[in-house]
Amino acid sequence: MKLSWIAFLFWSLRALAADGVELDRFLAEVKSLSASFIQQTLDEHGQVSRQNFGRFYLKRPGRFRWNYETPYRQEIVADGDKVWFYDPDLAQVTVKNIDAALGSAPALLLSGKLELKQRFVIVGQGKEKERAWVELKPKSEEDVFRSLRVELVRGILAAMEIADNFGHLTRILFEHVQLNPILADGLFRFVPPPNADIFEG
């Protein structure tokens, strides 16, 4: 869409303000959430090189379950204090505290456990009809993320795109999103299987 410079500047400023408001409103309204997801890894040409499917559950503050179902099973569970990574094929469990697990679990950004404005610079990326984009850039150069882009549709989480410091790009598309469903606390408790090796990360 081609606009005059004045119109473009006005539209950009309005979009940036709206993006921040929409993200803040979404995070303020969400107490729990469930959704299915498609996670895509993109190569240097922007083509999908790997794709995973699963279910995502969130209960603020600090709890979520990220279940990869196909093509390989994996569970990531946050209980409010720790994050548990379980690989059934390897029979391995890795345990990390929530802050240390940030790079491995993008769901932490939605969990209410982190102060986003203290850790990230939040930049509006524009708005088109019912879609809005917001980019989060870490303030620390030691963070594992280079940037994280959130897409909202009608004020509801639709996608996340994560660029890390190694040049990898991951896109997560959310479908069948339910806001504030009733989720049992037990969904966010992880008990390691008796045959699993446990590593503290």
Q: How many domains does the chain have?
A: 1
Average pLDDT over residues 29-45: 89
Q: What is the CATH number of the domain that holds 78?
A: 2.50.20.10
Give the domain range for residue 124. 5-200
Query: What was the pLDDT predicted at 193?
Result: 92
Using the predicted structure, report yes or no on whether residue 125 has a pLDDT greater than 60. yes
What CA–CA distance (Å, rounded) separates 66 from 138?
Answer: 23
What CA–CA distance (Å, rounded) separates 192 from 93?
Answer: 7
Using the predicted structure, report yes or no on whether residue 1 has a pLDDT greater than 70. no
Average pLDDT over residues 153-180: 89
Predicted confidence band at 118 (pLDDT cuts at 50, 70, 90)?
confident
Predicted confidence band at 85 (pLDDT cuts at 50, 70, 90)?
very high
Predicted confidence band at 130 (pLDDT cuts at 50, 70, 90)?
confident
Quote the tokens at residue 116. 């986003």
According to DSSP, the β-strands at 92-97 and 197-200 are: parallel
